[in-house]
Amino acid sequence: MKDEIEIIDTIRKRFNTYPPSVVSQIGDDTAVVRHDNRYLLYTTDFMVEDVHFNLAFETPYQIGFRLVSSNVSDIFAMGGEPEFMLLNIALRKDLDFSFLDELMDGIEECLKRYKLSLIGGDISESKNNIFLGATLIGYSINPILRNGAMAGDRIYVTGTTGDSGAGLELLKRIKKPLNIRLNEINLTTEDYEMLKRFSADMDSVLYLLKRHLLPEPRPLHNILKDINSMMDISDGLSIDLWKLCKESGVGALIYEDKIPVSDALKEVSSATGLDALSLALTGGEDFELIFTTSKQIDTSLISEIKITEIGIIIEKDFYIEKMDGKKKSLTPQGYVHLRKHDG
């Protein structure tokens, strides 16, 4: 079988005629369709049991929340506002109704968080795994595509990366669902005892778990006019930057010492032996934004969001300057569905 990236290329080559209102189709975070004086944005994402989520260490609430927020991230990646959602669910007959009820708690919380309305969907029976799908419709006045990066652009990333990947690593070791909600944490004394294994700094441990379980993407509205290209980080900083460069027909040089690693990740990785830098470069589902611009960004316009300049767009190829100043070719790594081995 081909892998995800090859399959998307195959589909894209085969279905390649569009009406003139379609500004961007397969290949970006959302499809972009002109409608009167604004652009409509369409995006859809699946979550498959045992691939995107695992009931052995996540609650249905957390899965529902993430189903919505991962799609919100794609709308923000275009500089857009999400408005409406369609929900598709395929469930096993033997599931308890409480699964659906809790799933809806998480979906509802996230819809409220981003002021979205659920306007439709579909339901099916599934023989084995649970399938969850969300389709989001949003709009933008001035959508930012992946393909606008130009040689000489500065590369920025919001927030910190690797946190969600670290949270997932912790969950795999915890091996049980934890009752963590957006505004409410209900853990037993035994839970806390277990979490202390990862670090005495409980705030850091909980922060990393929350970054994975309940990601909260943030928009970059105030500086959009200065941005040439943008996408969200769903599969890993290095592979997603590589995808942006591929769409733009350019290359990139990034600096290892500029990759934004949170204090929480530094703390927990030193206590557990996780590789913070590798997670920051290749860990998925941070739902931060990567963007490029030829301007110096006025950070006062987005004071609530940390942004870090991590490199520069070059004509071609992909490099990382290591801590010791040596420049090395960077292999884009991250999660690729259907790929037999990484890298």
Q: Which stretch binds ligand ADP (CB under 6 A): 26-34, 178-186, 222-230, 260-268?
A: 26-34
- Please report how close the Cβ of residue 12 comes to ligand ADP at its closest, in angstroms: 7
| 22 scored as a contact of ligand ADP (CB under 6 A) | no
| 28 scored as a contact of Mg ion (CB under 5 A) | no
74, 169, 235, 247: residue in contact with Mg ion (rule CB under 5 A):
74
28, 29, 153, 285: residue in contact with Mg ion (rule CB under 5 A):
29
Token digits of residue 114: 């981003």
- Please report how close the Cβ of residue 19 comes to Mg ion at its closest, in angstroms: 24
246's contact among Mg ion, ligand ADP, none, with CB below 5 to 8 A by partner kind, is: none
Site string (223-242) toward ligand ADP, x via CB under 6 A: -----------x--------
User: Which is closer to ligand ADP, CB of 69 or CB of 234?
Assistant: 234
Q: Which residue, 79, 97, 65, 85, is CA-closest to 23?
A: 79
| 191 scored as a contact of ligand ADP (CB under 6 A) | no
Q: Which stretch binds Mg ion (CB under 5 A): 68-76, 146-154, 183-191, 279-287?
A: 68-76
How far is the C-alpha of 176 from the C-alpha of 48, rounded, in Å? 19
3, 6, 10, 11: residue in contact with ligand ADP (rule CB under 6 A):
11
10, 18, 26, 120: residue in contact with ligand ADP (rule CB under 6 A):
26
| Residue position matching structure tokens 């659920």 | 118
45's contact among Mg ion, ligand ADP, none, with CB below 5 to 8 A by partner kind, is: ligand ADP
302's contact among Mg ion, ligand ADP, none, with CB below 5 to 8 A by partner kind, is: none
Q: How many residues bind ligand ADP (CB under 6 A)?
A: 9
56's contact among Mg ion, ligand ADP, none, with CB below 5 to 8 A by partner kind, is: none
- Please report how close the Cβ of residue 74 comes to ligand ADP at its closest, in angstroms: 5
State the distance between the two ends of the chain, measured CA to CA, in whole angstroms.
Answer: 17
**Residue 53's beta-bridge partner residues?**
49
User: Which is closer to ligand ADP, CB of 32 or CB of 182?
Assistant: 32
Q: Which residue, 260, 270, 269, 267, is CA-closest to 309?
A: 260
Footprint of Mg ion (CB under 5 A): 29, 74, 232, 234
Footprint of ligand ADP (CB under 6 A): 8, 11, 26-29, 45, 74, 234
